[in-house]
Amino acid sequence: MGIPAQHRSLFRRLYYGVLIALCLLVATLWSQIRHYQPSRLRVQWAPEVRFTEEPIQPIPVENVANPQKIALGEQLFQEVRLSSDNQVSCLSCHKFERGGADDRAHSVGIRGQATQVNTPSIFNVKYNFRFNWDGEFENLSDHLEGLLTSPSVMNMQWEPLVQKLQQIPTYRREFAQIYPDGITASSIKDAIVVYQEALTTPNSRFDQFLRGDKQALTATEQEGYQRFKEYGCVSCHQGINVGGNLFQRFGVMGNYFADRGNITESDLGRYNVTRDPADRFVFRVPSLRNVALTAPYFHDGSAKTLEEAIAIMVKYQLGRSLPPKHIQRIAEFLRTLTGEYQGNPLG
């Protein structure tokens, strides 16, 4: 039995009424979308987020944690008793006035032995993904043990070191206040590592620039940063530490070692760790933080000035030859990466 004619007419009117109402609703919404003004939104940007589009990020300004451990670690960092001949401390090779590095191409370990590679900076090491030029160590604790037991650096073993420090009343007291087990290999490592992680140098002029102070850099320094990005330097030197977060071959676009000559075992880089032929001449990319203070440069300490180091990098990593003016501009930018330690400017 079919629907009566009067009912069909009613259904048609209801159908068209609903359809018209939907069309009016869509038209209203479309009008609002067309006239939507995103600029009316008030977005509050945190200082650390505002410039995340940049390939380099500022060093966070952090509150000091574990002040007792840091104070103890600082003493141990300067303690020559950590070496077997009581002559060498961590500070012997990591000089704060030299940006946490050494002004010699090769540092001097126990009994006057020269290290095989140039000493990298100790500042901002918490932002590195591996340690040593060849990336042998994955964490600071293992790195510390490697240096402590190295025959050419400190040549010390844990048992005699613990015995040596236990003979000193101030160390016995200070360790007992922090560590339930007192002086042990683990507590020594922990105190030094906590101290090393606190060795950050925030608030460089470039960090201030990244946080929004456009007057922090001169026009030529800003040009230098632009050149640094345009020429591709930033492909390896980026992130918080402006490097330190990847491996790269030294001599991508040219044979640096053949031109320099006298290739040594230390020149083989990461190959010494992995024994993979593909890792020959591969090194951890160094951080450029405080680089104006850390000459000489590279694992072999061969570049004496910042400008010389830039020219070598441009030639062997980028396959280019830059005008001296552009090299100078990049150097001017790199000098703005010098930060502060404990609120005081480095250098």
Residue 52: predicted pLDDT: 54
Residue 63: predicted pLDDT: 75
Using CA atoms, how far apart are residues 68 and 77, in angstroms rounded to an integer? 14
Residue 62: predicted pLDDT: 81
Using DSSP bridges, classify how beta strands 282-284 and 340-341 pair: parallel, antiparallel or unpaired. unpaired
Alpha carbon of residue 142 to chain centroid: 19
Domains present along the chain, CATH in parentheses: 67-197 (1.10.760.10), 205-345 (1.10.760.10)
Residue 48: predicted pLDDT: 39
Backbone angle region of 182, left / alpha / beta, with phi > 0 → left and psi within -120 to 50 → alpha: left
Sequence-ordered list of residues with C-beta below 8 angstroms from that of 172, at least 6 positions apart, any chain: 166, 182, 183
Residue 17: predicted pLDDT: 52
Q: How much is the CA Rg of the chain, to the nearest whole Å?
A: 30
Residue 14: predicted pLDDT: 54
Residue 65: predicted pLDDT: 79
Q: Which amino acid is at 285?
A: V
CA distances (Å), 307 to each of 12, 96, 181, in order? 84, 22, 51
Tokens of 315: 């030639």
Q: Mean pLDDT of residues grouped by 10 in the chain (347 residues)?
A: 50 50 44 34 33 86 87 98 96 95 94 94 96 96 96 95 97 97 98 97 97 96 97 96 97 96 96 97 98 98 98 96 96 98 91
Q: Which amino acid is at 301?
A: G
Sequence-ordered list of residues with C-beta below 8 angstroms from that of 4, at least 6 positions apart, any chain: none
Tokens of 79: 């303690």
Determine contact, residues 165/81, Cβ cutoff 8 Å. Answer: yes
Average pLDDT, the chain: 88
Sequence-ordered list of residues with C-beta below 8 angstroms from that of 27, at least 6 positions apart, any chain: none
Residue 19: predicted pLDDT: 46
Residue 31: predicted pLDDT: 38
Identify whether 296 is preceded by a cis peptide bond (ω within 30 of 0).
Answer: yes
pLDDT for 300-329, tens place per residue?
999 999 999 999 999 999 999 999 999 999
Alpha carbon of residue 203 to chain centroid: 14
